[in-house]
Amino acid sequence: MTVHGRPRRTARRVRITGCGIRPGLLNPRPPEEPMKSVQLYDTTLRDGTQGEGFQLSMLDKLRIAQRLDAFGVDYIEGGWPGSNPKDIEFFQEAKKLDLAHAKLAAFGSTRRAGMAVGDDPQVRLLLEAETPVVTIFGKSWDLHVTEVLRTTAGENQAMIRDTVRHLKTHGREVVYDAEHFFDGYKASPEHALATLKAAAEGGADVLVLCDTNGGTLPSEVMQICRAVTEAIPGTPFGIHTHNDCELAVANAIAAVKAGGVQVQGTINGYGERTGNCNLTSVIPILQLKMGIEVVPELEQLKSLSYFVDDVSNNPHFARAPFVGRTAFAHKGGMHVNAVQKLARSYEHIEPGAVGNTQQILVSELSGQMNILLKAEKLGLGLEKGSPEAKSVLARVKDLEHEGYSFEAAGGSLELLIRKETASYEKPFELKEFHTSYRLYRDGHDPVCEATVKVHVGDEAEYTVAEGRGVVNALDKALRKALKPFYPEIAEVSLLDYKVRIIDGHDATAAKTRVLVVSGDGKSTWGTVGVSENIIEASWIAIVDSLDLFLQRHRAKLPQTETV
C-alpha cells in the first residue's frame, strides 16, 4: 500500500456528509486512494498551544496548517471556539486555505449538564466553524462526573450521546475524545465503557482514548485498548497520550499495536505540562519500523519540525529523536571509526529518510577522519594526508589543548579550515581595544564602555560604544567600526553566549572559553574563543563570527547551519 503520488483532493471534499459512512471507515475515498491503516490527527494548533512558551498568531496557525497538510497529516485540530474567541476567527480564515488532503477539526466539549444540546451556545459555535470534522471530549472517569461536573453518570452519558448525535445530524464527521479514559477505566471499567458506548450510540466515527494525565504505562494501555475493542467492536478507536512519564510515544505505539486507527499528537511534542504525544517521533516509527505508511514524503520531517519551532520562536532541541541536530551525531572516536567502515552499524535508520544528516562532532575523542569529513560536508575538500589537512589537524589539536572545543562551534572550525585552504582574505585587522566598567553602589547607573581600533585595508576606524555590559559594548563598538565597510554586518545578531572556565581547579592557570551563537535570520552558526580572560575570549568568538559571515558572503555562499 503506497501513498506516494496521490492526487490532490478537490475542493468539494471540505464538506463531508454524514451519509454512507460505514463503521470502520472514517470518510469515503476515491478508489485510487487506499485507506491508510493509521490516521494522523494533529493538535499542535490547539492542545499544543495549551503549553507554556508555545503561542501562535493567526498567521502562524494558518502557515502551520498549510505545512501540516502538505506533509500529509489527516486531521488538523485548529482550535477551541468555545474557549478562545480567536479560534472562531481562525476557522473563518481557514476556509480560504486550499487544503489538499487534511481535514480541519473544531474542538469542544459535550453539551452542558441539564441543557438541551440545541440550546448550548458552545455546541452552536462548533457548528458555526463549518469544519468537516468536529471533535468533542467527554468525561470517562466517574470521579470527574461527580466531583467536577457535579452530575449523574446517566446524565453524563446523555450529554455525550446527544452531542455526538446532534453533530452527526448536521453532517459532521465526529471524533469523540474520551477524557481521562485510562484512569477512568482503572477506577471503574463499567462506567468508562458506558461513556464510550454512549458516544458510539450517538454515531461517533472514532472513539479516541485519552491518557489525559499522562500517567499510564504501555502495558496498561495495551490491555485496556484490547478490552475496549472487545466491548465495542463496531467503532474504531484512536489514542491521545501525554508525556508525563516520558511514555507518550510508547503508549501511542502500544495502542496502534492493539488495533488503534488514529494517533493524536503535536509536532515536536508541544503541549501542556510535559507535552502531547510527539508526532515527530511517532510518524517515523510507524513508517520505518512498523511498515505503516502514513505520509508521502517522510524526508520532509526535519524541515517540518524546524519550521514549527521557528514559527513559534522556540529553540530546536538538539537531542530530538529523528530530527535533532545531534540525532545522528557521532562523537566517540570508536563510533566514528566504525561509522566510516559500516554506515549502518551505528545508525538505526538512514538519516536522510527523515531529512536529517549524519553529523560528525569534532572533540577530544576523535581524529583526522572527523576533520576531513567535516571539510567535505562544507564543500571545502581537504585531501587526506595533504599538507593542508595536516596543518588543519595540527592547529585543531593545539587549540583543543589550549581549551578550545569545536563541538558547538562549527563556525570556528569552518573558518580555521578556510584559512588553510580556500582563498581566505582577512576582512579587518584589529589594532587595539579597551573596555571599562564602573559600578557605583550609591544609586548611579553602572557605566560600560568599549573602544575599538580596526584597520580595513589602508583605512582606520576608531570607535567607542556603550552597552549593557562590557561584551555588549565591545560588540557594538566593533560593528560600528565595520559597518562603513561591510553594511551587511547589520544582518548578524548575537543569539546566545556561554562561558565556561576550563581547569578551574587551578585558578592560576584557568582559562575561559566563550561560545557565541550568531544568526542572520536564516541560519545560525557557533564560534568559540579561549583566553585567560573573558573579554578577550569573547572578542575572539565575536570576531570569528563576523569573519565567517563575511567569508561566506563574499563567496556568495548561502549561510548554512553549522553544528
Task: Return the residues of window 336-365 that contact a second copy according to CB under 8 A.
Answer: 338, 341-342, 345-349, 361, 364-365
Q: Is 244 in the site for a second copy (CB under 8 A)?
A: yes
Q: Which is nearer to a second copy, 200 or 528 (CB)?
A: 528
User: Binding to a second copy by residue 468, rule CB under 8 A?
Assistant: yes
72 touching a second copy, by CB under 8 A: no
Nearest approach in angstroms of CB 332 to a second copy is 5
Q: Please give the residues from 104 up to 163 whose contact with a second copy meets the rule CB under 8 A.
A: 141, 143-144, 147-148
Nearest approach, Cβ of residue 363 and a second copy (Å): 8
Q: Which of residues 254, 261, 389, 465 is near a second copy by CB under 8 A?
A: 254
Of 168 and 476, the one with the shorter C-beta distance to a second copy is: 476
* Nearer residue to a second copy within complex by CB, 59 or 555: 59
Note whether 44 and 68 are within 8 A (CB): yes
Q: What is the 3-state secondary structure (H, E, C) of 484-531?
A: CCCHHHHHCEEEEEEEEEECCCCHHHCEEEEEEEEECCCCEEEEEEEE
Buried b (16+ CB within 10 A) or exposed e, 83-121: eeeebbebbeebeebebebbbbbbbbbbbbeeeebeebe
The stretch near a second copy (CB under 8 A) out of 16-24, 191-199, 233-241, 425-433 is 425-433
Return the residue matching grid coordinates 503506497.
Answer: 2
- Residues 6+ positions from 357 with CB-CB distance below 8 Å: 328, 351, 377
Q: Tell me which residues in 483-542 interact with a second copy (CB under 8 A).
A: 493-505, 507, 510, 512, 517, 531-536, 539
The nearer residue to a second copy, 16 or 221, going by C-beta atoms, is: 221
Q: Which of 230, 441, 458, 556 binds a second copy (CB under 8 A)?
A: 441
C-alpha distances in angstroms, 56 versus 60, 287, 309, 432?
5, 29, 11, 46
Look-up: residue for cell 501540516? 68
Nearest distance in Å: CB 432, a second copy = 5
The stretch among 29-37, 110-118, 196-204, 265-273 that binds a second copy (CB under 8 A) is: 265-273
Task: Match 458506548 to its residue by C-alpha cell.
Answer: 197
What pairing do the DSSP bridges indicate for beta strands 103-109 and 359-360?
Answer: unpaired
**Contact mark string toward a second copy, 312..331, x via CB under 8 A:** -x-x-xxxxxx-x-xxxxxx
Secondary structure class of 36 (helix, strand, coil): coil
Is 442 among the residues that bind a second copy (CB under 8 A)? Answer: yes
Burial track 398-408 (b if 16+ CB lie within 10 A, e otherwise): ebeeebbbbbb
Distance from C-alpha of 121 to C-alpha of 106, rounded to nearest angstrom: 14
Q: Which stretch binds a second copy (CB under 8 A): 5-13, 25-33, 52-60, 541-549?
A: 52-60
Q: Which is nearer to a second copy, 98 or 532 (CB)?
A: 532
Calculate the CA 466 to chain-centre distance: 37
Burial 493-525 (b: 16+ CB within 10 A, else e): ebeebeeeeeeeeeeeeebbbbbbbbbbeeebb
Task: Please check whether residue 37 is in contact with residue 255, taking contact to mean a CB–CB distance below 8 angstroms.
Answer: no
Contact between 368 and a second copy (CB under 8 A)? no
Least CB distance from residue 386 to a second copy, whole Å? 27
Q: How far is the CB of 148 from a second copy (least distance, A)?
A: 5
Per-position x/- string for 163-202, each x denoting binding to a second copy as judged by CB under 8 A, each - no binding? -----------------x----------------------
Q: How far is the CB of 131 from a second copy (least distance, A)?
A: 21
Identity of the residue, 198 or 249, whose beta carbon is nearer to a second copy in the bound complex: 249
Residue 316 to residues 47, 313, 326, 374, 432, Cα–Cα distance (Å):
20, 9, 11, 22, 37
CB of residue 239 to a second copy, shortest distance in Å: 14
Shortest distance (Å) from residue 85 CB to a second copy: 10
200 vs 339, beta carbon nearer a second copy: 339
Residue 334 burial (CB count, 10 A): 12
- Residue 48 makes contact with a second copy by CB under 8 A: no
27 binds a second copy (CB under 8 A): no
**Interface size with a second copy, residues (CB under 8 A):** 123
From 157-165, 193-201, 244-252, 371-379, span contacting a second copy (CB under 8 A): 244-252
Supply the minimum distance, in Å, between the C-beta of residue 97 and a second copy.
15
Nearer to a second copy, 141 or 237 (CB): 141
- Residue 245 is a binding residue for a second copy (CB under 8 A): yes
Strands 133-139 and 173-179: parallel
Name the residue type at position 56. Answer: L
Closest CB to a second copy among residues 155, 383: 155
CB count within 10 Å of CB 61 equals: 24
Q: Which of residues 541-560 bind a second copy (CB under 8 A)?
A: none
- The conformation of residue 287, written as its DSSP 8-state character, comes to I
- Of 369-408, binders to a second copy (CB under 8 A) are 405, 407-408
Continuous segment of H or E residues that includes residue 137: strand 133-139
The reply on whether position 422 binds a second copy by CB under 8 A is: no
Torsion of CA 241, 247, 250, 256, to 10 degrees: -20
Stretch that binds a second copy, among 94-102, 227-235, 247-255, 298-306 (CB under 8 A): 247-255
Site of grid cell 514549527: 308
Quick one: which of 140, 221, 216 has its CA closest to 178?
A: 140
DSSP characters for 68-120? HHHHT-SEEEEE-TTT-HHHHHHHHHHTT---SS-EEEEEEEPPPTTS-GGG-
- The CA distance from 179 to 50, in Å, is 16
**25, 35, 116, 430: residue in contact with a second copy (rule CB under 8 A):** 430
Specify the residue, 115 or 349, whose C-beta has the smaller distance to a second copy. Answer: 349
